[in-house]
Amino acid sequence: MSKIKYKRVLLKLSGESLIGENGYGIDPHVLDFFSNEIKKVHDIGVQLGIVIGGGNIYRGLNAAELGIDRVTGDQMGMLATMINSLALQNAVEHKGTDSRLMSSIQMNEVAEPYIRRRAIRHFEKGRVVIFGAGTGHPYFSTDTAASLRAVEIEANVIVKGTRVDGVFDSDPEKNPNAFRFESISYLDILKKNLRVMDLTAVSLCQENKLPMVVFNMDVPDNLLKLVRGENIGTVIQ
């Protein structure tokens, strides 16, 4: 336990991260990799909560193009996050890691309702907790849901898994000379319009003094090194 820097962690993953080589949907190889990385962290005693988006299946923001109103589109997006959450839970439990899926909207045959005290009790019992269906309300992203849950469960840090090595001053996948920040303030994130998370999510973390680390989730052992305090990714606080 002395090797752990962050005891309770909220991990945010995008739905797009599940696409893998397929170009759409859910890649079972990605699920297997993520569940392995989650198990490594869980096995050293870290209390881990997870929020995963639904962008690989459906995006509420794009609903207008299909003639679907924003509220309905966002509700469809919430259901997409539940599909991803169920897939991730299944993969995690195949690794022998006990977990619970909690939903912000009622679907009792599929998941427990989200209750803050119950979630914390699951952590205390050594379970990974996956939070599905966003905030349960339209007009809020899963980034905001992750920030909200992290604050509610009193996480030590929120970690955002991406496919790049942290926060850069420009897109590193387009600009090979992009500069990576080792650390940066939330205020500078907003001033520079770096789009790490949406404005509501960033403001929530800033107001509650919750640090965030943006890191490359696709590199084996990065999550494990991060929770142990190694210099991985970009720290925002």
Backbone angles phi, psi at 177, to 5 degrees: -100, 15
In a domain, 29, yes or no: yes
In a domain, 54, yes or no: yes
Q: What is the residue whose two structure tokens read 């404005």?
A: 199
Distance of CA 23 to the CA centre of its chain: 20
Q: Which domain holds residue 114?
A: 8-162+189-210
SS3 100: strand
In a domain, 170, yes or no: no
The predicted-structure confidence for 46-93, as pLDDT tens digits, reads as follows: 999 999 999 898 865 566 677 889 899 899 999 999 999 999 999 999
- Say what the pLDDT of residue 152 is: 98
In a domain, 128, yes or no: yes
**Sheet with 112-113, side-by-side order of all strands:** 112-113, 99-103, 128-132, 47-52, 8-13, 157-162, 212-216, 234-236, 183-184
- Say what the pLDDT of residue 207 is: 96
**Looking at residue 27, which CATH number applies to its domain?**
3.40.1160.10
Q: Which residues of the chain have pLDDT under 50?
A: 1
In a domain, 25, yes or no: yes
d(CA 32, CA 46): 20
In a domain, 179, yes or no: no
In a domain, 150, yes or no: yes
Angle at 227 (CA atoms; ends 146, 29), nearest 5 degrees: 70
- Say what the pLDDT of residue 94 is: 97
- Say what the pLDDT of residue 45 is: 96
In a domain, 135, yes or no: yes
Bridge-based pairing state of the strands 99-103 and 128-132: parallel
- Say what the pLDDT of residue 226 is: 97
Count of structural domains, the chain: 1
The predicted-structure confidence for 220-235, as pLDDT tens digits, reads as follows: 999 999 999 999 999 9
SS3 182: coil
